[in-house]
Amino acid sequence: MASFAWTIPLWPLLGWLLLGTLGGRLPRRVVSLVGCGSVALSFAASLLAMLTFPGEPQTVQIFSWIAAGDFSVAAGLLLDRLSLVMVLVVGGVGLLIHIYSIGYMAGERAYSRYFAYLNLFMASMLLLVMGSSLLVLFVGWEGVGLCSYLLIGFWFDRERAANAGRKAFIVNRIGDAAFLVGILVLWNALGTLDLRTIAERASTLSAPVMLTASLLLFVGATGKSAQLPLYTWLPDAMEGPTPVSALIHAATMVTAGVYLIARLFPLFTHPITLLVISTVGALTALFAATIALVEWDLKRVLAYSTISQLGYMFLAMGVLAPAAGLFHLTTHAFFKSLLFLAAGSVMHAMHDVIDMRRLGGLAGPLRYTAVAFAIGALALVGIPPLAGAVSKDMILERAAEHAAAGGSVLPLLLGLLTALVTSVYITRAALHTFLGRPADPQTHPHEAPPVMARPMGILALLAVFGGLLGAGLAGAPLLRFLAPQFGEAAHVPAAAGGAAPTSVATITSPLAIIVAVAGVVVGLVAYRGRRDPDLGMWGRLARSHFGFIHLYDGVFVPIAKRLAWTLAGPVDLGVIDRAVNGVGALLAGGARGLRRLQTGYVRHYAAIILLGTILILAYWVIR
Amino acid sequence: MVPLAYYLVLSAVLFSVGMTGVLVRRNALIVFMSIELMLNSVNLTFVALSRSLSSIDGQLAVFFTIVVAGVEVVVGLAIIVEIFRSRASVNVDDVDLLRG
Amino acid sequence: MELILFIPAAALALAGAVGVIASRRAIHSALSLLLVLSALAVLYLLLEAQFIAVLQVIIYAGAIVVLFLFVIMLLHMATGEPTVGGLRAQRAAAVVVGALFLAGLLVVLVRPQTAAVLVVGPGPAFGTAEAVGRALFTRFLLPFELASVILLVGIIAAVTLGKARPPEGRGVS
């Protein structure tokens, strides 16, 4: 089994190599075949790995990467329950989006470059979730960051896109810096970077070290998963092609932070760490949901929605419910990418218009897309039995139990409030995009072609039935699969053989449903007929991101710019260049001086020979 | 009854004189003659030591030195004549094409 | 007894040497060289190197100096020293360096071993043509053959270099 596991990240890597070098000269059909075929092969390998999984984690070492004294890192892949779940989600959703891209990017000149980057991303992401060592994970981490930059700025001649790519990379970097320091702390304390070993020995760490390492790693996760305060890059990342937004910025890359915490879960058990994680997650969830309420760009609404849902996942991690967080990761991948693909279909039909003020009335001509969007929206809102409902309910149940057991009640409250706002903003988006009178009656939108529609359909089915993966009635296969990884933190539902829920938990489920439905009703009422009510002070606060925009633009960015200019000018030009040129000048001057010895006069040469002879003579005499 | 040292000192002095001549004079022919002077001083050393050590080998060395000196003078003078033909000068300072 | 012959010969050699390097005219230098060579031949005789002494006179004094004289005459050396200005400080530096060198040599050469008086010679057969020849054709055979090769090379070189250039048209270097 393990022998072919290493091909899972290999196929997309080969695809990238092939398309990156020869892609421009290959016909479109071949590019599509290679681009999607590599992912299909990878997904098939993942399925095979799942079917033949023996139950115990397996490590495949590809080669010994670093061997320096007593520091050694193996370039290896870890195949266990967690990584299997991740590769299936990444591979499956990735494959659907690759197929969708064939249609969406059909008119694009740089077709092969797109698929090359997308394949490279898949390879990096799979490496990230399969890496056996923290350092291998980090390689994948950086790789997806790079691909994010490349794909956000895919249309690099557009200034907004280029800026957005750069912003994403730089903000990510801040998180990565903390991540690296965390890696150093862990190595210093444990002497190894092997993930399984770290997880096993996490309990041997002293409390301050565990706190420091876990917080540093969390900051890294914050950058990659766009939580407060490193969230600013994700909405701007919508400048990239829509399938990229679906794949990278909804389903996979942004979940890397969640995966990291799940993977090293025993490390994140310090009470302060848990408090920080759950609070940041909960606050981010509400924060982003509020902003989604005042955005007009449909993709940006979905971007803030992603940030918000990621907040839910971190919230779950913070209340010691990692399996629930991973379950939500899976269902979110289904319905959020569905929503994005539907938005892409809208853009495809409306010639890249995505401002909701210019849309409307698309439910008629784009019936299929509208239904898909509706399914995704209902899943997001949390209407049972759709996928998002089951996973979100589970998280809220855990939050309630956490509060009842003496923990903070903030995650539960914020979680419920966010659910309300979520319903409102997605209803608003649906109304403005699909219902009411069209803003521009002259347009004649047409529905998406089958190559785009079929992946949406599959995702819709997954969004509807995906909840069964964790529902007690269906035996909660996902949770039971993950149970050996997390022990009792897997929270297998009672109906599937787990522990009985506490009394508190039994009331959160109905409460969450009520809140969700109430939000939809509020949205329908407030935004019927594509109305735009004035939200007054709250609207202004939301639009300024509760002051964050001013903080960034007014404080951090100017400081960074000043620092950059100082380093570029006085430091780089003045000091470094001068030093380097100085060495050159020194050598040239020395050479010029030595040149004066070559006078051309035989007598001078004879004199110097004599001088040398005298020195030798003197040496002999003295000895 | 002449100490060996006398011959060696004479040889050293002749050599130094020849050396100085090479360094000081500008006429190529005179430089050449100074070089011959140096060669001869070495010959004297060889002969003196050959006598002192009672070995004929020293004189053989002188034999070959004289032969080679002869050849060297012939070729060297030919070169000097050749240079004179192209530059009309035997000033060693004029031949400074190696100047860098 | 030998000292009586040694001192004048050495003095003449020294005088000739100074004459070689200090004469204004090249021809005077050549004649001074001749003096040195002759004095050295006397010294060789004193050192029981008869064959070498004769060689010295025949080849060195008789051929090489004559060659010098011919070339001097060929090049119309009316005045010995070119009038173009010399290098700065060369003369002073040369004297200093030369003195230094001489001092070094003397330090090396004047030792208790060398202060010994040369004893009565190793025998009447030492230094004769027969003795030199015997060594030459037995132990020094290879150098002897090489020397003849060198002579051949020298002849060819001299002829080639000394050949008068055929008359050429202008423009050809």
Domain extents in chain B: 27-88
- Please list the residues that pair with A72 across neighbouring strands: A67
Q: Between chains, do C118 and B2 touch, taking CB under 8 Å as contact?
A: yes
pTM of the model: 0.71
Segment among A180-189, A475-484, C22-31 with least mean pLDDT: A475-484
| Closest residue of chain B to C58, computed from CA coordinates | B66
What is the interface size between B and C, counted as CB pairs within 8 Å? 247
CA A359 remoteness from chain centre: 29
Given CB atoms, is C173 within the 8 Å cutoff of chain A?
no
| Closest residue of chain C to A600, computed from CA coordinates | C87
Percent of chain C, pLDDT > 90? Answer: 42
- Please list the residues that pair with A73 across neighbouring strands: A66
Region A374-387 average pLDDT: 88
**Which residue in B4, B19, B30 has the most chain C C-beta atoms within 10 A of its own C-beta, making it the best mutation to test that interface?**
B30
Q: CA of C112 to nearest chain A CA: how many angstroms apart?
A: 15
Cα distance between residue A191 and residue A74, in whole Å = 14
Q: Between chains, do A621 and C93 touch, taking CB under 8 Å as contact?
A: no
Q: Measuring CA to CA, which residue among B5, B78, B76, B4 is closest to residue B39?
A: B76
Residues of A in contact with C108 (CB under 8 A): 617, 620-621
Partner residue facing C104 (CB), from A603, A607, A621: A621
Q: Subunits that touch chain A (at least 3 Cβ pairs < 8 angstroms)?
A: B, C
Residue A340: what residue type? F
Partner residue facing A617 (CB), from C97, C98, C104: C104
Query: Collapsing DSSP states into helix, strand and coil, what is residue A441?
Result: coil
Q: What is the DSSP track for A273-326?
A: HHHHHHHHHHHHHHHHHHHHTT--BHHHHHHHHHHHHHHHHHHHHHTT-HHHHH
Given a cut of 60, is residue C77 above it in pLDDT?
no
What is the interface size between A and B, counted as CB pairs within 8 Å? 28
**Total Cβ atoms within 10 A of residue A128:** 28
Q: Give the per-residue pLDDT at A175.
A: 92
Q: Which helix (H) or strand (E) holds A477?
A: helix A477-486
| Closest residue of chain A to B97, computed from CA coordinates | A600
B99 confidence band (pLDDT: 50, 70, 90):
confident
Q: Subunits that touch chain B (at least 3 Cβ pairs < 8 angstroms)?
A: A, C
Q: What digits encode the pLDDT tens for the residues A275-312?
A: 999 999 999 999 999 999 998 999 999 999 999 999 99
Cβ atoms of A387 and A463 closer than 8 Å: yes
Q: Between chains, do A610 and C90 touch, taking CB under 8 Å as contact?
A: no
Q: Give the per-residue pLDDT at A478.
A: 78
Q: Give the per-residue pLDDT at A507.
A: 79
- A contact set with B (CB within 8 A): 595, 598-603, 606-607, 610
| Closest residue of chain B to A591, computed from CA coordinates | B100
Looking at per-residue pLDDT, the higher value among C170 and B53 belongs to B53
Give the phi and the psi of residue C82 in degrees, each rounded to 5: -60, 145
Partner residue facing C104 (CB), from A601, A604, A614: A614
End-to-end Cα spacing for chain B: 55
Residue C88: what residue type? R
Residues of B in contact with C141 (CB under 8 A): none
Given a cut of 50, is residue C25 above it in pLDDT?
yes
Q: Which DSSP category does A71 fall into? A: E
Q: CA of A579 to nearest chain B CA: how many angstroms apart?
A: 29
Q: Which helix (H) or strand (E) holds A79?
A: strand A71-79
Query: Collapsing DSSP states into helix, strand and coil, what is residue A504?
Result: helix
Residues of A in contact with B23 (CB under 8 A): 603, 606-607, 610
Percent of chain A, pLDDT > 70? Answer: 96
Q: Between chains, do B44 and C43 touch, taking CB under 8 Å as contact?
A: yes
Given a cut of 70, is residue A2 above it in pLDDT?
no
Q: Give the per-residue pLDDT at A44.
A: 93
Alpha-carbon torsion (A333, A338, A344, A347), positive or negative: negative
Q: Give the per-residue pLDDT at C173.
A: 47
Cβ atoms of A90 and A252 closer than 8 Å: yes
Q: Between chains, do A607 and C97 touch, taking CB under 8 Å as contact?
A: yes
Region A476-484 average pLDDT: 76
Q: What digits encode the pLDDT tens for the residues A129-157?
A: 998 889 899 999 999 999 999 999 999 89
Which residues, 6 or more positions from C108, have their beta carbon under 8 angstroms from its beta carbon? A617, A620, A621
Residue A69, classified by CB atoms within 10 Å of its CB into exposed (0-12), middle (13-18) or buried (19+), is: exposed
Percent of chain A, pLDDT > 90? Answer: 36
Which residues, 6 or more positions from A484, have their beta carbon under 8 angstroms from its beta carbon? A55, A81
Residues of B in contact with A610 (CB under 8 A): 19, 23
Residue B65 in tokens? 């030195």
Partner residue facing A598 (CB), from B24, B93, B100: B100
Is the bond into A441 cis (omega within 30 degrees of 0)?
Answer: no
Cα distance between residue A41 and residue A588, in whole Å = 60
Q: Give the per-residue pLDDT at B69.
A: 94
Residues 271-290 of A with CB under 8 A from C: none
Residues of C in contact with B85 (CB under 8 A): 165
Q: What digits encode the pLDDT tens for the residues A46-57?
A: 998 888 888 778
Residue A509 in tokens? 């489920």
Cα distance between residue A12 and residue A41, in whole Å = 9
Cα distance between residue A289 and residue A305, in whole Å = 6
Helix A410-434 and helix A503-526: axis angle, to 10°?
A: 30
Residues of C in contact with A618 (CB under 8 A): 104
Q: Between chains, do C108 and A604 touch, taking CB under 8 Å as contact?
A: no
| Closest residue of chain C to A620, computed from CA coordinates | C108
Region A538-547 average pLDDT: 81
Segment among A349-353, A393-397, B21-25, C121-125 with least mean pLDDT: C121-125
Q: Give the per-residue pLDDT at C78.
A: 47
Residue A533: what residue type? P
**Which residue in C21, C84, C95, C100 has the most chain A C-beta atoms within 10 A of its own C-beta, making it the best mutation to test that interface?**
C100
Is the bond into A385 cis (omega within 30 degrees of 0)?
Answer: yes
Partner residue facing B4 (CB), from C84, C114, C151: C114
A502 confidence band (pLDDT: 50, 70, 90):
low
Residue C5: what residue type? L
Q: Between chains, do B77 and C68 touch, taking CB under 8 Å as contact?
A: yes
Q: What digits encode the pLDDT tens for the residues C79-135?
A: 455 545 556 667 777 888 888 888 888 887 777 766 666 665 667 778 788 889 988
**Which residue in A602, A610, A617, A621 has the most chain B C-beta atoms within 10 A of its own C-beta, making it the best mutation to test that interface?**
A602
Given CB atoms, is A604 within the 8 Å cutoff of chain C?
yes
Q: What digits encode the pLDDT tens for the residues A568-615?
A: 888 888 888 888 899 999 999 999 988 888 888 888 888 888 888 888
Cβ atoms of A467 and A385 closer than 8 Å: yes
Q: Which DSSP category does C123 fall into? A: -
Partner residue facing B96 (CB), from A601, A607, A610: A601
Extended beta strands in A402-555, E state:
none
